[in-house]
Structure 1
Amino acid sequence: MTRRPRTSGADGTAYLFARLGLVAARVRRLVAERRRDDPDPDDAFRGLYVSAADAERLAATPSATTETGCGDPSDAQALAEVEETADRAAADGTEPRLRRLARGFGLTALDLEFLLVALLPDVEARYERLYGYLNDDVSRRRATIGLALELSGIPASAVAGRSRLDGSAPLVGGGLLLVERADQPYLSRSLRVPDRVAGYLLGDDTVDAQLAELAWPAEEDEDAASIGDAAARADLASRLGAALRAGVHLGYLRERSGAAADDLAIAALVTAGWSVLRLDLDALTAASAPADLLAVAVREARLRGAGLVAGPVQALDPAGKPAHARLLRRVADQPVPVLLTGTVEWDPHWSRQAPLLVTAAPLDERGRARLWRRAVGARATDRPAGWLDGVDPARELAPYLLGPDQLRRAAQAADQLALFAGADRVDAGHLRAGVRGQNAGGLARLARRIEPGVGWADLVLPDPVHDQLRELALRVRYRDRVLGRWRMRPGGGRGRGVLALFAGDSGTGKTMSAEVVAADLGLDLYVVDLSTVVDKYVGQTEKNLERIFTEAAGINGLLLFDEADAIFGKRSEVRDAHDRYANLESAYLLQRMESFDGVAVLTTNLRANLDEAFTRRLDLIVDFAMPDVAQRRALWDRCLGTELPRDEDLDLDFCAQNFELAGGSIRACVVTAAYLAAEAGRPVRMSDLIGAVQREYRKLGRLLLESEFGAHQPRTEPARVH
């Protein structure tokens, strides 16, 4: 009588142990038969050598091509009883894992027998030695192909049995069974169940260790389900889920800046009844054997009944690297639903089948605020009362393009910064610092990053200019509402960028104004270095600009093109090849600026040199004039500051009235005077300012008139030799 296996296990392991018990019974019967037919069953060196008598006996044994003799009529009855018990468990909602695995991988009854034969020594150690005995080799403690066929009642020459162990068959192709020792004769090759598969059947849901930092299970985020336009998002996820249920197995979700394509893909798979496994294509590409790891990831997904959410696609370079193109086709061609995510346009050559193309829209300001409150609130359980009362997230997050993952990381960073500062609440400064910490470093290699350190109070400008600068800030702050929700910039491939031109003489405050606007919005200022852009080789300037715009799309910053007329100049009549290619650069910039989603400011000293097509695409043009007397007086006072010691003879009214200087020149004069005072070890005197003005006039190439200095004539001091 067959010994009954254990029947406990709410996770379905009772069915597994029952099936293994049937295999174990056949193993014991086969061992008994071998001993009965063995002329020397007590040979102490059995399995270590082949004697002459053994060779003669083996040679005289007829070939067994039709039957193996290990079957037992009780097997069918015992199997029927086990299956009946499993049917009842499945009806109660507890389907055994072995059955789920068979259904998910398309295994036949014979496939299951082979799998169980190979698994038995991993579950009960004594069967290692019994397998060694049946293999007639104590060093081979795993089932061989020949032994598996024999225990399953299949003739060794039967194609129907051998074909189930091919590399393309479900068992081996799906990674459930490994055929080892390929250099051995076919029937002597060992069969092994990977540890992850054995662990899964025994109730372990730990992700395969080979997939560390490469793939991980994901669940639909309840917070993400209600952010942004929740109704529109739920509708899109529902329609995508319905397509998956109807048989769509490949989709590409292209996300715009600040979108949540991954969350949308997860919601769609959950809606369709799948669990989710996230796959990092960036980490996969960097792995030493990406194709093998992809096979492991797909096996993990199939074990879990999961679909794959794989991205970002832009981590691959299918056009430039054939290996990446092959890998992407492998990812797309899998027996589980695959939803790819990325920011680039889909190329039809990237997969053998056409994907369902979906665009994931960015979060709006309400969605970002809602997610921020939940992300910070989740960490505020042991924080002081009112921890979240110091910031208005709807207002402060409005200028930023942030996806859910970036928002969560920014919330964590802001929470930590508030704790580090010993604050009693999270404020706008912590929020902004947390957001800036999410900026990628790629743009810093192409532009100079400036963390703004000035504010509106530092600007000395006419009121109309002030108003225009504040209008620029509010355009950035409310662009989601106006350009997105209210659709005031539809069609034409136009982005949601905000573009402004600051025009005026050198030193009139253009760069500082850009810094003030950036500070008001909580953005970093990135000053584009023209030396990294302009190139003498044809087409290279456009490539450099494209790199800048691409990197700028991934950060929350204000892009400043200083001396913009160098690259945004007028197109001219084509007289030679140089004119033609210069016009191509301008045409490219016209198109690229219109599709830009970020914030950019162009500054120029010569507004007339800019192409009119650029000015039409600008949201604001701010003219910076030379300061008048009152403004110059304020600039002198502001530049001297509060820390620099002043002598009583300073006459700032005289300086403002007599010296027509821009703010930049006034600052230069004050700095020069400060150095003179520092060297003399005394406060700044009027004579220091007059001497500094004299030097500045000479630097600017302006004519020096004695009448301009009045009673404060500059003194020419002989150079001192130390």
Structure 2
Amino acid sequence: MIQAQTSSLDLILCDPASHFAVHLYVAIDQLLAHIDRMSAYGGEPLDRFYQRYPFLAAYGAELCRYMPENLDWVHRAELWRSQILAWEEGTGTHLPLRALGSHLGLTFEARLAFVLTGLVEEDSRFGTFLSELQAPLNTRRPTLEFLGQVLGGGAGRIGVPDPWGLCGPLLESGLVETANPEAPRSEWTLRVPALLWDAARGRGDPPSETGLRLIPTGRLPSIDDLLFPADLLGRLARLPALVASGMVRLILLRSDPGTEALDVMGAIARGLGRGVLSLPSGSNDRERTWPALAPWCAMTGAMPVIAYDLSPGETAKLPALGGYGGPVGVLQGREGGLSDRALDQVITLELDPPDLELRRRHWRRALNGHTCEDLDRVAETFRLSGAYIRQVAQIALAQAGLNGSDRVGLAEVREAARALNRQHLDTLAARLEAKGRWEDLVVSEATRVKLIELGRRCACRERIQGHLGPAFEGSAQRGVRALLTGVSGTGKTLAARILAAELGMDIFRVDLAAVVNKYIGETEKNLHQVLTQAEALDVILLLDEGDALLGSRTEVKSANDRYANLETNFLLQRLEQYQGIVLVTTNLGENIDQAFKRRMDVVVPFFAPQVQERRGILSLHLPTLQGLSPEYLDEVALRCQLTGGQLRNAVTHAALLALEESAPIEDRHLETALRAEYRKAGGVYPIRRQPEGFVERPGRLQSFVAALRDD
């Protein structure tokens, strides 16, 4: 690391770690010079400290090996400085401590103050030693005044006029922080954040608890590696030159989840010869990390990339990266914005979801040479962005491996996509099982026609763009919005599940009544999270009890009316821009705002079942080999005006009664269940059945009527 001859100092600094070690030696040398200097003013001689602290004597002996003989402290300090600076000028290696000068404007003496502050981080024995030197303060870390004494006066003086002039830039740039800001400034105890100390030593990876992630330049993709439309790639290729010229400092990428925005930002950073420091949304102690970002990026040569997950109306305030003059990247969704201060020298790019051809290319890359049995169908069925395609492909390959195959089929991809959907949506919505066929749904012919239309609309939602005129170019045609209206129990949820099964998609249900929050802005935030994730994962979203938010807007007579209308307006605009399939159910179709109905692609009315439909529902739910008489079932269908859900409940109850008797379902079981269903609804069972062998005899009224007829 350091080699010396008897008459000269020859520094061989091959990497950031050895460069840091030399600065550590220089800092210790200055500390020893301070002790020797203080002995002339009545302090203990250096040899006494060597006796009490043998580790200090070992450092002193090591330093003497690299110094010419009979060289005093002043000339030793000058020799250290001149040799280090001369070597730095002749190397192209990125050195973290040198970057503090080139990027943050710190002097060589400030570097030494930084290293001296962190001595205890490197060797805990310095803590006890510093505590003795600074008595009676009893602190194991150096104070601001102590650093000024060591590096700023007497023999061996480097030329720093005062402690604040030395340490002020370190504090302002975030390189050091004070543990006791309430104390007098001269007694401020200084410390180096662990993140920055590791960076100075050449250890670029930040601690995991910070939430930061460093991606070196060599691991970043190039712009040619990205799978995006050609026009966007052309703009990205020209962007590094604009950043290098100083015209652009802030790069804002807006995209949906899973759109590989970090890869795009990494390609831009690679074009600038930088790595990426990623600060994801929701990182722990995010605000505490801000002050260290500027010096950390300067020392590592990385571009900070900050992710925000903003809700509608929210504004993000970028940290003040004082001293850092390089580019900054921001990853953001479609909603929210940045504060005005951050909008200088900014360029904004929007990343759209990939089309069918790009999805094919993503799947081929993600499968990495493995065979997919029906790649075209997979690419068309699963409308995912690049990052999600990679995740699904890896899970699908693992599923195929468990099945003893290296070929990926539609079943493995569907299972992998389902696992990804659950991972992202289980905390936001409830997954429904997609099953059934249209033959299992008994509805009126008008409803069936509308459902078939809805199915076609969903299946062709992407291909329809090619059959539309130029007026539709660039408009959102991937989204399908449907309103299912009808009283409870008429089959709305069942129809949604069957639609999902027919399309081969997952379906998640959101109860809007549970999403609505009494606190201002929380309802919009909840809806934004659900809609954004469902849109990115391309699942069917079922908004249950839609009248909770889709009701007609009212005249504003109070603050509550105004905020309720704001929530309705937000959902109205968000659904209009929605790029997935969303089904909204309501039991009160007449109360739905007309603006919502106008924006719905398909409105499917569900009616209470009529006689033939009720008979069909009973046939679907009842097993064929039972003790039920067809005549009784016909009478039930004729007289019992129940919904499909009520009839299903009655059949389930009858089956339970028959199970308790270990008998097949008979008329009496179904009758008991139907009576219970009517009692639950507050109605009267409409069928009067006479006991077996009963003969009706004419009463007085019937006899009187008969006599009148005879007369």
- The equivalent residue for 2:617 is 635
Matched, 1:552 2:531: yes
How many residue pairs end up in the alignment? 654
- Relative to structure 1, the CA distance from residue 588 to residue 173 in structure 2 (aligned partners, 3 Å threshold; closer, same or farther) is closer
Matched, 1:500 2:482: yes
- The equivalent residue for 2:245 is 246
Secondary structure of the residue aligned to 1:262 is helix
Once the two structures are TM-superposed, the CA of residue 439 in structure 1 deviates from its matched residue by 2.8
Once the two structures are TM-superposed, the CA of residue 684 in structure 1 deviates from its matched residue by 1.8
CA displacement 1:647-696 (0-9 Å, x = unmatched): 38556985698568654454344334323423443112355456666776
CA displacement 1:162-192 (0-9 Å, x = unmatched): 454242x2x4433445678889998898877
- Relative to structure 1, the CA distance from residue 82 to residue 396 in structure 2 (aligned partners, 3 Å threshold; closer, same or farther) is same
For 1:531-546, list aligned pairs within 5 A: 533=516, 544=523
- Relative to structure 1, the CA distance from residue 673 to residue 180 in structure 2 (aligned partners, 3 Å threshold; closer, same or farther) is closer
The aligned amino acid for 1:302 is A
CA distance in 2, matches of 1:714, 1:591: 60
- The equivalent residue for 1:358 is 349
- Relative to structure 1, the CA distance from residue 341 to residue 704 in structure 2 (aligned partners, 3 Å threshold; closer, same or farther) is same
Matched, 1:524 2:510: no
- Conserved? CA contact 1:257–1:362, under 8 Å: no
CA distance in 1, matches of 2:581, 2:150: 70
- Conserved? CA contact 1:13–1:203, under 8 Å: yes
Secondary structure of the residue aligned to 1:314 is coil
- The equivalent residue for 1:107 is 106
CA distance in 1, matches of 2:399, 2:530: 26
CA displacement 1:18-38 (0-9 Å, x = unmatched): 666777777777877777998
Mean Cα deviation higher: 77-86 or 617-626: 77-86
- Conserved? CA contact 1:650–1:686, under 8 Å: no
Once the two structures are TM-superposed, the CA of residue 639 in structure 1 deviates from its matched residue by 1.1
RMSD over aligned CA atoms reads: 5.6
- The equivalent residue for 1:147 is 150
Matched, 1:303 2:299: yes
The aligned amino acid for 1:266 is G
- Relative to structure 1, the CA distance from residue 20 to residue 637 in structure 2 (aligned partners, 3 Å threshold; closer, same or farther) is closer
- Relative to structure 1, the CA distance from residue 523 to residue 121 in structure 2 (aligned partners, 3 Å threshold; closer, same or farther) is closer
Matched, 1:511 2:493: yes
CA distance in 2, matches of 1:460, 1:186: 81
CA distance in 2, matches of 1:312, 1:597: 21
- Relative to structure 1, the CA distance from residue 301 to residue 483 in structure 2 (aligned partners, 3 Å threshold; closer, same or farther) is farther
Once the two structures are TM-superposed, the CA of residue 500 in structure 1 deviates from its matched residue by 1.1
Matched, 1:670 2:651: yes
Once the two structures are TM-superposed, the CA of residue 393 in structure 1 deviates from its matched residue by 3.0
Secondary structure of the residue aligned to 1:282 is coil
CA distance in 2, matches of 1:563, 1:35: 84
Q: Equivalent of 1:10, from 14, 23, 28?
A: 14
Secondary structure of the residue aligned to 1:300 is helix
CA distance in 2, matches of 1:153, 1:624: 91
Secondary structure of the residue aligned to 1:683 is coil
- Conserved? CA contact 2:222–2:267, under 8 Å: no
The aligned amino acid for 1:435 is L
Secondary structure of the residue aligned to 1:438 is helix
CA distance in 2, matches of 1:302, 1:14: 19
For 1:102-251, list aligned pairs within 5 A: 102-112=101-111, 114-115=113-114, 144-150=147-153, 154=157, 159=161, 162=163, 164-167=165-168, 169=169, 171-176=170-175, 197=196, 199-207=198-206, 209=207, 212-218=209-215, 222=221, 229-247=228-246, 248-251=248-251
Secondary structure of the residue aligned to 2:15 is coil
CA distance in 1, matches of 2:121, 2:523: 58
- Conserved? CA contact 2:500–2:507, under 8 Å: yes
- Relative to structure 1, the CA distance from residue 345 to residue 714 in structure 2 (aligned partners, 3 Å threshold; closer, same or farther) is farther
CA displacement 1:292-328 (0-9 Å, x = unmatched): 4222333322211111111225289977xxxx86xx4
CA distance in 1, matches of 2:95, 2:552: 73
Secondary structure of the residue aligned to 2:74 is coil
The aligned amino acid for 1:675 is L
CA distance in 1, matches of 2:461, 2:199: 50
- Give the TM-score, by structure 2 length: 0.71
- Conserved? CA contact 2:179–2:191, under 8 Å: yes
- The equivalent residue for 1:66 is none
- Conserved? CA contact 1:113–1:152, under 8 Å: no
- Relative to structure 1, the CA distance from residue 107 to residue 473 in structure 2 (aligned partners, 3 Å threshold; closer, same or farther) is farther
For 1:6-85, list aligned pairs within 5 A: 7-8=11-12, 10-11=14-15, 70-72=73-75, 83-85=85-87
The aligned amino acid for 1:102 is G
For 1:698-709, list aligned pairs within 5 A: 704=686
- Conserved? CA contact 1:564–1:604, under 8 Å: yes
- The equivalent residue for 1:65 is none
Once the two structures are TM-superposed, the CA of residue 517 in structure 1 deviates from its matched residue by 1.6
Q: Equivalent of 1:647, from 609, 612, 627?
A: 627
CA distance in 1, matches of 2:464, 2:602: 16
- Relative to structure 1, the CA distance from residue 430 to residue 646 in structure 2 (aligned partners, 3 Å threshold; closer, same or farther) is same
- The equivalent residue for 1:273 is 273
Mean Cα deviation higher: 666-675 or 266-275: 666-675
The aligned amino acid for 1:499 is R
The aligned amino acid for 1:684 is I
The aligned amino acid for 1:107 is L
- Conserved? CA contact 1:223–1:371, under 8 Å: no
- Relative to structure 1, the CA distance from residue 256 to residue 475 in structure 2 (aligned partners, 3 Å threshold; closer, same or farther) is farther
Secondary structure of the residue aligned to 1:439 is helix
Show structure 1 runs of 5+ residues with no match. Answer: 49-68, 707-712
CA displacement 1:348-406 (0-9 Å, x = unmatched): 3564857444333234455455445555x46x9xxxx86877995313312xxx55555
- Conserved? CA contact 2:109–2:151, under 8 Å: no
Once the two structures are TM-superposed, the CA of residue 526 in structure 1 deviates from its matched residue by 1.0
CA displacement 1:105-138 (0-9 Å, x = unmatched): 3233443454566678988999999999999999
- The equivalent residue for 1:57 is none
- Conserved? CA contact 1:473–1:521, under 8 Å: no
- Give the TM-score, by structure 1 length: 0.70
CA distance in 2, matches of 1:200, 1:546: 38
- The equivalent residue for 1:681 is 662
- Conserved? CA contact 1:558–1:600, under 8 Å: yes
Percent pairwise identity: 24
- Conserved? CA contact 2:34–2:150, under 8 Å: no
- The equivalent residue for 1:52 is none
